Amino acid sequence: MELRPLGRTGVKVSSLCLGCMMFGGRTAPADSAGIIDRALDAGINFLDTADVYSRGKSEEATGEALKRNGKRNQVILATKVHGDMGLAHDPNAGGNSRRHIIEQCEASLRRLQVDHIDLYQIHRPQSDIPIDETLRALDDLTRSGKVRYIGTSTFAAWQLLESLWVSKELGLNRFVCEQPPYNLLDRRIERELLPMARTYGVAIIPWSPLGGGLLTGKYTRNEPPPEDSRFAAYQSNPMQRRRMNDRIFDVVEGLQPLAEAKGVTLSQFALAWCMQQPGVTSPIIGPRTMDQLEDNLKAIDITFSEEDLRAIDHVIRPGQMVSPFYEGDFGPHAHRTF
């Protein structure tokens, strides 16, 4: 497993990041622990979760697994804050305010059973809270030792650049990484975010490199989705209905022969492509089962020639999108620039 610098920091992370979103929810704690152990044995040293995943159960399952195997100090442990944790009638239960960030950091530390978080990320931008308030809270957590590094998720290029300017102006710790959606169905970050990140030394940790499962080959044109799949009830989910459209099958059907020519699965092909894009540090995989993890791990052995990359670009052009993974993430008042 290749190790790559986490942006401008002195930390190195594996070229795949184990996403723990399913742990403690659809994946039982015991199975979650087994997946974590296998991932660590395979050379993954980067684990990512969030407080809102299964309302804290993901953090609990991840923390318990690391306590049991005694390997907490061998991993870069990342979690996120922003979402409403379900406190009824509390107008401040969520967002990027100082109050919420400090409160939820303490809660995450308890659930993870650790004394510090290696990477603490703002899960979504929030236009009605000044970024300096958010950064001052994170800076205090960093200076106290409860957080080592800070990052963002699903920020636009201009929002991330604004934060770097504010950090410089106020002498605050800066964001070291960004988690954007990036896959062969939505390549929009190639327009501005990736070039900006490479210029300023920001690590890119893509989420949904398999398009939420749309790039695994399990979904086919004119066939209903598998009953146990994420998109099984997509017709009743507006976001999923926008993502599951005829244009994705043009891409999937164009990529499938390219994957078959290499003797790999479509999911391995799509993940390897994301992992090898310039500026990408560590795509986040989100296995629900051990079999899915094993399939994902095989992506590290796939290489692409210039001819391969041209063929992929012919199927889905650079900077283009056929399935929207940013849609609705920034709220009604934000400007989306990728």
Residues labelled catalytic: 53
The secondary structure of residue 226, as a DSSP letter, is P
Instruction: Compute the distance between CA of residue 318 and CA of residue 46 in angstroms, rounded to an integer.
Output: 28
Instruction: Compute the distance between CA of residue 317 and CA of residue 122 in angstroms, rounded to an integer.
Output: 30
∠ CA 32-302-251, rounded to 5°: 85
Q: Which residue has the tokens 């318990």?
A: 64
The values of phi and psi at residue 24, to 5°, are 80, -5
Instruction: Compute the distance between CA of residue 203 and CA of residue 327 in angstroms, rounded to an integer.
Output: 22
Instruction: Compute the distance between CA of residue 161 and CA of residue 63 in angstroms, rounded to an integer.
Output: 33
**Do 153 and 124 form a contact (C-beta atoms < 8 A)?**
yes
Among residues 41, 2, 1, 46, which one has the least CA distance to residue 20? Answer: 46
**Do 109 and 103 form a contact (C-beta atoms < 8 A)?**
no
**Do 139 and 128 form a contact (C-beta atoms < 8 A)?**
no
- Taking the alpha carbons at both ends of the chain, their separation in whole angstroms is 29
Q: For strand 12-14 and strand 175-179, is the pairing parallel, antiparallel, or unpaired?
A: unpaired
**Do 267 and 296 form a contact (C-beta atoms < 8 A)?**
yes
Instruction: Compute the distance between CA of residue 183 and CA of residue 276 in angstroms, rounded to an integer.
Output: 12
The values of phi and psi at residue 285, to 5°, are -95, 150
Please name the helix (run of DSSP H) or strand (run of DSSP E) that holds residue 148, with its range, or none: strand 147-153
The secondary structure of residue 83, as a DSSP letter, is S
